[in-house]
Structure 1
Amino acid sequence: MILAPDNRPANEVEDILQYLENCDSTHFLDFVEYIFQVDASKHLPSKSEFVDSINSFFDIDDLPYYLTDYVQTEEPGMYRGSPVKYIKVSAYPQVILKESQLVHSEAVKPALKLLTDPAFLSANNEFLEALEDYRKRDYGDCLTKCGSAFESVMKIICEKRKWQYDQKDAAASLLKTIISESNLEPFFTDPLLIVGTIRNRLSKSHGAGAAKKQAPQHIAHYTINSTAAAILLLVEETL
């Protein structure tokens, strides 16, 4: 579409604002994430306060979205011959779906906060990717990433507690090790393994064979919530 001269934006800012007023919600939310990735918020006194302001906007209008905060880690470096520590952004703010305020507040949000610990960096990235896949309706990949995040957390627990395991161990073997070494009762095995079972049955992590695998939205939603709850339980019981 070519705009008449009188309707063309006068500058880049007006061009962006015009686009945001007319684009669909998916592109608008992508733009919100992009603001942080290109550091367009660097002139703000507090980036975290900016994140909180956006979440307040979502809450006021009762929108089913939540913007995660920055995940930062310290890394050693040198400055003029002296050792220093640099702050590195490990994960930028990301818009996720918040379809249930109760579940979000009691499971997903606490799990995201727990995973900001640098030790859980890989699991945090995998869980954030699962949440992104869910928002973009890629439910098969969402299940895969949930399973990966769950396994990563269990491996980190084993490493921290110095419990013997193999890097190739899948969810069942890892959970067996954790339950045998911790105070978790064996009856937790089946409920906790549901994340891995759903991934194996419905995700894209294994070949579909003759029958095409379908991952429904409600199953992906359930798996995200189950993954968050499982991560919280395992970490609180073992670390």
Structure 2
Amino acid sequence: MFKIKEIFSVFSKRNKIEKEIEINSEVRNRIFMLIIDLSNNDDNGGYYRFGSTFNMEKFCVEILKVLMMRLGKFDVIHKNKGIVNGVIEFLLSCKGEVFLDFIEDCFKTDEFKLVWIEKKNEFIDNINYIFSIEDIKFELTKYKEYWIESGNMSKLDSITYPQVICKENMFINAKIIEPALELLIDDVFKNVNNEFLEGLSHYKHKRYKESIVSCCCALESVMKIICLKNKWKYNDNATGLPLIKNIIEQSQTPNWYEGIIMPTLTLRNKLGPHGKGAAEVNVTKVQAQLQINLVASQIIFLIGEYDR
């Protein structure tokens, strides 16, 4: 069941919709085809856990309840259409942002929780591919579950649900960002993933200074995790420069590696909380873009070099 906060923690509520979002009928139809395909595969097909199957009607009942609450309306669909046909008809003609909200909603339904993690992410990859071939400037982030050991059993601790993020104006280099996010799916990088996504969110909302700071925090968190995994001692309060110096010293890697990390720290120090001085610092969109791309590249480098 959805929690009330989850109902309103969706794409349209996170973003200021300044112009109509175009999601054509072909894209919507294809996404529903993917969902219907889930309901047409039995548990022997490997789609489901717990010996269950995906029930399209139950799924649409959950989605309808969410739509009614979010829109504050009882008459979202025509009752004579039936639940499944009524929900599909509504979503094929609703505003683009409402449809993007629906895509995020899918993963929070009880029915989707029955689908294996690998199949959820395959579903996400398929949606992203459909978006790309139709030149729609959005993509979904990955689904991730975090488990902890409880006695002799594993217990689900938390879930990172997929979010629709905007690729408009290509503010990030997808060839860099996507591999970085893939690396951060690992449980140990949970906090790093959250900090980096926070940096992207700040950017989308034009909070460029906050974006620069959050991205730098993600980088520093990666370095601390690398120290922990390699059993290298470090100060819990250490920031970027002491951390990279410590990693270089402990690993006996070249001193010039420090220069790879310095641009990110410089941007944070000059434009973040340490950069104000007597006058307010005006952080630009381009500076935030640079920080995002730098940090993504540095995360890939650090994990590749030291997390072996």
**Equivalent position of 2:53 in the other structure:** none
5 Å-filtered alignment, 1:58-73, equals: 58-73=131-146
- 8 A Cα contact 2:104 2:162, kept in partner: yes
**Equivalent position of 1:119 in the other structure:** 188
**Equivalent position of 2:178 in the other structure:** 109
- 8 A Cα contact 2:269 2:275, kept in partner: no
1:96 aligns with 2:165: yes
- 8 A Cα contact 2:185 2:193, kept in partner: yes
Give SS of 1:85's match: strand
CA gap of 1:64–1:219, structure 2 versus 1, over 3 A, is farther
- 8 A Cα contact 1:130 1:146, kept in partner: yes
Give SS of 1:73's match: strand
**Identical-residue share of aligned pairs (%):** 35
How many angstroms apart in 2 are the aligned matches of 1:73 and 1:206? 34
- 8 A Cα contact 1:75 1:85, kept in partner: yes
* Matched length: 224
1:180 aligns with 2:254: no
Shift of 1:130: 1.3
Flag structure 1 segments of 5+ consecutive residues without an equivalent.
1-6
CA gap of 1:202–1:37, structure 2 versus 1, over 3 A, is farther
- Report Cα offsets for 1:33-84 as digits up to 9, x if no partner: 3443566744667322321232122111122332111122222236xxxx32
Q: Which of the numbers 23, 33, 45 marks the counterpart of 2:104?
A: 33
- Report Cα offsets for 1:72-99 as digits up to 9, x if no partner: 2222236xxxx32134444111233445
**Equivalent position of 1:222 in the other structure:** 290
Letter paired with 1:103:
N
How many angstroms apart in 1 are the aligned matches of 2:256 and 2:206? 33
Letter paired with 1:52:
D
Shift of 1:22: 3.2
CA gap of 1:14–1:232, structure 2 versus 1, over 3 A, is closer
Q: Which of the numbers 260, 280, 292 marks the counterpart of 1:212?
A: 280
**Equivalent position of 1:17 in the other structure:** 91
**Equivalent position of 2:3 in the other structure:** none
Q: Which of the numbers 123, 129, 141 marks the counterpart of 2:210?
A: 141
Q: Which of the numbers 52, 74, 79 marks the counterpart of 2:125?
A: 52
Letter paired with 2:288:
A
CA gap of 1:102–1:123, structure 2 versus 1, over 3 A, is closer
**Equivalent position of 1:4 in the other structure:** none
Give SS of 1:190's match: helix
1:153 aligns with 2:226: no
Rg larger in 1 or in 2?
2
Q: Which TM-score applies when normalising by structure 1?
A: 0.79
